A = this chain, B = another copy of it.
């Protein structure tokens, strides 16, 4: 008997979370914020290729999910810092595993691709 919900069912709520995780910018931002709090434009500079819109959008999503916390400091002009939550940190740890895997096995993957393409 299987106690786990069926993630292969499109209606399964767990798949909603999974779909959120399966996002380019989400993974990059979360692992970056796991290293420490950052300001908005700081993130923009650090994550190469992200647009203003996607940064804002992704951060809002992360905040909504309780993975990231947004703090506004009343300076002039205003400054905003984003920091990871305890919950977010547990997810970031899992994602780090994927990043590590990618770094460790990228050679094997590229080699497989070459073999595949060569025919």
Contact = CB atoms under 8 A, between A and B. Distances in A.
Interface of A: 4-5, 7-11, 13-14, 17-19, 21-24, 26-28, 31-32, 46-49, 63-67, 87, 90-91, 94-95, 97-99, 101-103, 105-106, 108-113, 115-117
Contacts of A22: 21-24, 26-27
B102 A17 contact: yes
Given A66-B112, A113-B65, A103 B24 contact: no
A95 B14 CA distance: 14
A14 B11 CA distance: 32
A95 B98 CA distance: 7
Nearest to A16: B106
